[in-house]
Amino acid sequence: MRAFDHAQTIGLLEAPAEPGAELAPVALPASAVIGMRDCEQDQDQVHTPVLLEAVLAGLDPRVGGRYIDGTAGRGGHAAAILSRSDPSGELLALDADPVAVSMVRRRLAPFGNRATVAQANFRDLLGVARDRGWDGVDGILLDLGLSSPQLATPARGFSFAIEGPLDMRFDPAGPTTAADLVNTLGEEELANLFYTYGEEHRSRRVARAIVEARQRGPVTTTTQLASLTERAIGRHGPTHPATRIFQALRIAVNAELDALAAVLPQAVALLRPGGRLAVIAFHSLEDRLVKKYFQQEMTTCICPGSQPVCTCAHRPTLRAVSRGATMAGDDEVRTNRRARSARLRVAERL
């Protein structure tokens, strides 16, 4: 239950008693979890990664530079970074998912020893880079969340539209599945999980329905959970009611926000002066975390606002490369629905 323990440390169990009292709902399109353009059967099919041109403009890969893609996925961004830094730029591509790692190895094979691909969680970024003798890098990319092949593979359990086991682990060797959480957490804990990580205001109703269903036997499949969620809270608008429930479970199973909070300072520690960090977030929980971290690292003082005199001696480590977040234009969204919720933030190491 490691993933859930991490979740507790960031206040999962401290959600307000009345879900809905404080959190403003985010516009979370169904595409954040399901229904992306990308249910390709051929998982090696060359795809255009999200916000590709903006990522390249932000990272500005150069000949001879060293880069890390912490979320290699299908290797689309990674291949583009290697092409831009041709002929001598190097890239370390990481993914927690061994299936993604095999895919990326094939995709990056033409770059020879300029590309290294490894299965690793980006929460261990600093150690993984240093193990390879990399103490400083010129750019780091994190394109958060799940990939299209993961979503489209029933056995991975990410999609409520296709029947599969309730798994949702990026790394299949991870300690906790979504089924573990759904079948062992108490009603209150489930409600708080759905509220905190899914920003689902009807979280209590879904939690109650799950606990009632469990009396008849364990909830084991994606479609079982999707239909009991729909029965519990009904359909309102175009987004499937299970969207936020699945998002919450995926975040908890993979301890996604903890991993993100852990990697940001490691990325800053690894970047050489002038090196850049680019992060693409797909929902407001991630984006808020990145935005706050960047703001903190760009400011000279992090003392509480109530303190009249600065005592923190904080030194900024980052500067903004562009104002605010970059979002996909209409053309990209038309061809790639997933891009609709993407927000890219880029900062440069001072």
Ligand X SMILES: C[S@@+](CC[C@H](N)C(=O)[O-])C[C@H]1O[C@@H](n2cnc3c(N)ncnc32)[C@H](O)[C@@H]1O
123 Cβ partners below 8 Å, 6+ apart? 255, 258, 259, 262, 263
CB of 187 to ligand X, least distance (A): 29
19 vs 89 by CB, closer to ligand X: 89
- Collapsing DSSP to helix, strand or coil, 40 comes out as coil
Q: Write out the two tokens for 244.
A: 């936020």
- Most distant pair of Cα atoms in the chain: their distance: 61
Choice between 96 and 347, CB closer to ligand X? 96
Q: Which residues contact 139 (CB under 8 A, 6 or more apart)?
A: 59, 60, 61, 65, 66, 67, 68, 81, 271, 275, 276, 277, 278
* C-alpha to C-alpha distance for 162 and 158, rounded to whole angstroms: 9
Q: What is the C-alpha R_g of the chain?
A: 20
Q: Which is nearer to ligand X, 49 or 65 (CB)?
A: 49
Q: Are 341 and 270 in contact, with CB atoms under 8 Å apart?
A: no
Minimum CB separation from ligand X for residue 173, in Å?
13
Query: Minimum distance from CB of 289 to ligand X (Å)?
Result: 13
Compute CA distances 333 → 36, 210, 324, 337, whole Å.
Answer: 11, 35, 19, 5
How many CB atoms lie under 10 A from the CB of residue 76? 21
Minimum separation from the CB atom of position 203 to ligand X (A): 24
Interface contacts to ligand X, rule CB under 6 A: 49, 70-71, 73-77, 94-97, 100, 121-123, 143, 145-147, 170, 259
Separation between Cα atoms, residue 91 and residue 270, nearest integer Å: 14
Dist CA 146 CA 50 (whole Å)? 12
Non-local CB neighbours of 328 within 8 Å, separated by 6+ positions = 50, 51, 336, 339, 340, 342
At its nearest, how many Å lie between ligand X and the CB of residue 69?
Answer: 7
Shorter beta-carbon distance to ligand X: residue 122 or 195: 122
